Amino acid sequence: MADYTSETITRTIRRWIIPAAEPWGAPAAEVRKAWAAAELDYRRHFGIPAEQPLHDDALRFHVTDEAVVIEWQEEARAS
């Protein structure tokens, strides 16, 4: 008889995408606005007060050929 378990994980990814086509890249003001919106969304979702610092890895930044992407993720086990 097999001795193992299994589980189902659901991952939610929230993204803010700032266009950054070459050769100009993304405007700093747009990156700041998206960063602020992502941080506020993260804080609201997890109930973190504004005066409490976020973990260093709360938000992730990715650069693609056409955009700067800011994201956070959450995983939950299916019941």
| DSSP one-letter string for 64-78 | -SSEEEEEEEEEEE-
* C-alpha torsion angle, residues 51, 56, 62, 68 (rounded to 10): 20
What average pLDDT does range 4-11 have in this prediction? 92
What does the pLDDT read at residue 21? 87
In a domain, residue 4? The reply is no
Asked whether residue 28 is domain-assigned, the answer is: yes
The reply to whether 1 falls in a domain is no
SS3 (DSSP) at 59: coil
Give residue-wise pLDDT tens across range 24-54.
Answer: 899 999 999 999 999 999 999 999 999 999 9
CA distance 29 to 5: 48
Find tokens 């610092």 and name the residue.
Answer: 53
Domain span at residue 69 reads: 9-77
What pairs with residue 10 in β-bridges? 76
> In this model, does residue 72 exceed pLDDT 90?
yes
Residue from 77, 74, 71, 69 nearest 30 by CA: 69
Q: Number of structural domains, the chain? A: 1
